[in-house]
Structure 1
Amino acid sequence: MSQSTTIRVLIADDVAIVRQGLATIVDRDPEMTAIAQAEDGRQAIALFREYQPDVTLMDLRMPQMSGVEAIVAICAEFKQARIMVLTTYDGDEDIYRGLQAGAQGYLLKDAKPHELLNAIRMIHSGQKYVPPEVGAKLVQRMNNPELSERELDVLRLMAQGMNNLDIAAALNIGESTVKSHVNRILSKLGVNDRTQAVIVAIKRGIVYL
């Protein structure tokens, strides 16, 4: 098969053994080749510029720069970029952020090799690839009330174990303002207390510890 018809794949993941495993799966397919590997978001952008791959496999949580930030940057510069999120995280917020950033697909790392190769082909052909269980979580996310930027700030500090007084000092706002933010956060997440709020937020990928 000539080089021009081969699907050229860029792999971005901060774990070397994962990158090498993905490259092996891709290279075993006679219609594909792994052309480059990035270990963080910044390197992914640089390698995308250099190679302009047909399809990019992008992990979400990487050092230096996250996958979501890298997807946003690549899609802003290259309108035809075809990117698939490949991650261990299935929180509805992670799925939402990845696809909103410009990814055309979302696949979990426990997928079988044939599913990965099929997804790459679909995205290369201009289709989207979202497995049913991922799609269901995305629908759930779309129906959930959106947290404001300030509420997200408060929630992140709650996850660090701060009380209202600490949060007020950290954000330079009044303690009563923090209290009203906390009440809105509990309401939007559908929980009764701060501990539940943090657990739900971590599970959904809204905040990371």
Structure 2
Amino acid sequence: MAATPSASRKRILTYITDDSNRKTTFKKRKKSLVKKARELSVLCGVTVCAVVCSPFREIETEVFPDEGGVREAYARFKGMTQVEQTRRKYSQETITEERYEKVKSKALKVSTGNQEKEMTEMMYQYLSGQLMSLPAMNLVHLNDLAVVTQRHLERITEKLAALGKEGDSVLMPPPPPRAPASMDMGGGMRNDEGNGMYVNTNNRPEGPAC
């Protein structure tokens, strides 16, 4: 069954303002978190602890695996060096910074791709005669256009080198075909030798009348 558009979109995490919905979500997510912590501990044989403080009076604070397990895990953590403690340590600030850097990098790639497409289209329009003159651009855009043009020239050179041909010979038009022997070109011009040399038959002296 095909996924609906709403299901295929990523859910945006934001604070739930409605008290009833926030309480229901807290119960479900807390249960899921404790389940995942237990599965990770059993499947991988690692020490896992979790303390989920409840903001609601009627819901107790969740401690996994138990108070003794949490104290033991905390003691092991404090026994590590400062480097070991911070090597894989994440906070809301670090997570936000990582997400920001990823979004920033993605936006930069999209912007660079759009800029290259725009400059490539402008280059083709100018070469084909659709664009008679370049629009007013600043030094940054002119430099981008020069970079794109140089990149296309390098690609063309690489393709020509792969074909084993030189650029000049490829770009030279083919020679015109040789005219056949004794071909009348009209207007008194005729090729008698078939060697591309034409003679004017209008000024040729007339022979003796028969």
TM-score by length of 1: 0.18
Report the structure, 1 or 2, having the larger strand content: 1
Q: Which has the higher contact order (CA 8 A, sep 6+)?
A: 1
Larger Rg: 2
TM-score (norm 2): 0.18
